[in-house]
């Protein structure tokens, strides 16, 4: 195979994996909805995902890619959870370049500005203030002169629970350690730095991992790592949700949840690189802003 054919195949496999992971997650979340028989929302029909195609609009490009957003709203467990997959391509504008990656320079992009990116992105806002909100994202990025993976997951409890934090981190660490014992410490530290609401000087949650520009030169190994991070997400998240699903909460807990969601919206709109990238590359804003909370307060 030529270099182009090799990457055609790799792009296809990466996109197919993100689609498969989306399906696994949606199935698991709908099962959680079906099983929930406790609490103030138990009489609602169990939530299920509805899907919608999204398109990226790019001046001068007839086909710039797109994706599918899957959203479950007003469920028993989830108040709003979105799982987007997208595969976008075209020429990369300057503003998008600045927002897409931590690296200052993408080699070769000046001569040939084509890019291709595919990924999955998930944000869940929960009914119960006793269960944490969560985010997960993994992606592959390709340009004529470089390729890399990025991703991460972080847990956003309303009030920290040390056992939940330990479990969430342990599951991600196990996935990292299967590939390189240096990954977890490095990518945990990056998450601590990245998921910081800098104007409040406070972390948005209890962290997790965050990585970008991940390229060892061995595409198969790096793809396997990114698959393992994605697969670890359900192992990290489901137990910390399930153990709190029958805990009562107060009106004050709910108010605090809405305030924390306001902070979450601030982070996403002011700092989040994926949101900036989406808004500046013409992707469907509905899909880019799927991460925003169903309701939030700034009292």
b/e per residue 184-212 (b: at least 16 CB within 10 A):
beebbebbbebbbbeeeeebbbbbbbbbb
Binding to a copy of itself by CB under 8 A, coded x per residue (else -) over 204-243, reads ----------------------------------------
Question: Binding of a copy of itself at residue 253 (CB under 8 A)?
Answer: no
Total chain residues near a copy of itself (CB under 8 A): 23
Instruction: Specify whether the CB–CB gap between 90 and 58 falls below 8 A.
Output: yes
Dist. CA 115–CA 100, nearest whole Å: 11
Give me the residue label for tokens 């991703």.
151
Question: Binding of a copy of itself at residue 3 (CB under 8 A)?
Answer: no
Report the 10 Å Cβ neighbour count for 19: 16
> 214 an active-site residue?
no
**Which two three-digit tokens encode residue 73?**
């709203």
Site for a copy of itself in 46-75 (CB under 8 A): 73
Q: Mark the segment that binds a copy of itself (CB under 8 A) among 90-98, 145-153, 235-243, 282-290.
A: 282-290
In the bound complex, what is the minimum distance in angstroms from residue 79's beta carbon to a copy of itself?
A: 10
**Which two three-digit tokens encode residue 258?**
């809405």
Burial (CB count <10 Å: 0-12, 13-18, 19+), residue 9: exposed
Name residue 133's beta-bridge partners. Answer: 156
In the bound complex, what is the minimum distance in angstroms from residue 122's beta carbon to a copy of itself?
A: 16
**Which two three-digit tokens encode residue 182?**
């240096």
Q: What's the CA dihedral at 82, 158, 130, 27 to 10 degrees?
A: 20
Site for a copy of itself in 165-204 (CB under 8 A): 198-200
Q: Which is nearer to a copy of itself, 215 or 279 (CB)?
A: 279
Catalytic residue selected from 125, 135, 244, 283: 135
Dist. CA 261–CA 187, nearest whole Å: 24
In the bound complex, what is the minimum distance in angstroms from residue 285's beta carbon to a copy of itself?
A: 4
Question: Binding of a copy of itself at residue 293 (CB under 8 A)?
Answer: yes
Q: Mark the segment that binds a copy of itself (CB under 8 A) among 23-31, 171-179, 209-217, 288-296.
A: 288-296
Q: Which is nearer to a copy of itself, 102 or 166 (CB)?
A: 102
- Phi (first) and psi of residue 269, to 5 degrees: -80, -30
Q: Mark the segment that binds a copy of itself (CB under 8 A) among 26-34, 59-67, 211-219, 262-270.
A: 262-270
Q: Which residues bind a copy of itself (CB under 8 A)?
A: 73, 80, 198-200, 258, 262, 265-266, 269-270, 279, 285, 288-289, 292-299
Residues classed as catalytic: 135
């Amino acid at each position: 195979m030529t270099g182009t054919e090799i990457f055609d195949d790799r792009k296809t496999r990466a996109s197919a994996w993100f689609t498969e992971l989306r399906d696994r997650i949606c199935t698991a979340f709908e099962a959680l909805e079906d099983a929930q028989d406790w609490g103030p929302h138990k009489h609602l029909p169990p939530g299920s995902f509805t899907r919608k195609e999204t398109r990226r609009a790019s001046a001068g490009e007839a086909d710039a890619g797109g994706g599918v957003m899957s959203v479950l709203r007003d469920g028993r467990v989830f108040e709003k959870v979105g799982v987007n997959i997208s595969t976008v391509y075209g020429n990369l504008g300057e503003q998008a370049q600045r927002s897409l990656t931590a690296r200052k320079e993408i080699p070769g992009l000046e001569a040939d500005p084509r890019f291709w990116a595919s990924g999955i992105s998930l944000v869940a806002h929960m009914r119960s203030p006793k269960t944490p909100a969560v985010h997960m994202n993994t992606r592959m990025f390709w340009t004529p002169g470089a390729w890399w993976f990025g991703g991460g997951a972080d847990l956003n409890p309303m009030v920290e629970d040390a056992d939940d934090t330990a479990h969430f981190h342990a599951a991600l660490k196990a996935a990292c350690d299967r590939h390189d014992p240096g990954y977890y410490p490095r990518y945990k530290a990056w998450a601590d730095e990245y998921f910081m609401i800098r104007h409040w000087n406070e972390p948005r949650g209890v962290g997790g991992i965050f990585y970008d520009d991940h390229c060892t030169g061995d595409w198969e190994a790096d793809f396997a790592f990114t698959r393992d991070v994605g697969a670890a997400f359900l192992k990290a998240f489901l137990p910390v949700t399930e153990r709190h699903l029958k805990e009562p909460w107060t009106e004050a807990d709910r108010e605090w949840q809405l305030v924390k969601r306001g902070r979450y919206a601030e982070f996403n709109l002011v700092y989040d690189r994926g949101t900036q990238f989406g808004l500046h590359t013409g992707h469907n804003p509905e899909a880019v802003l799927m991460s925003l909370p169903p309701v939030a307060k700034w009292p």
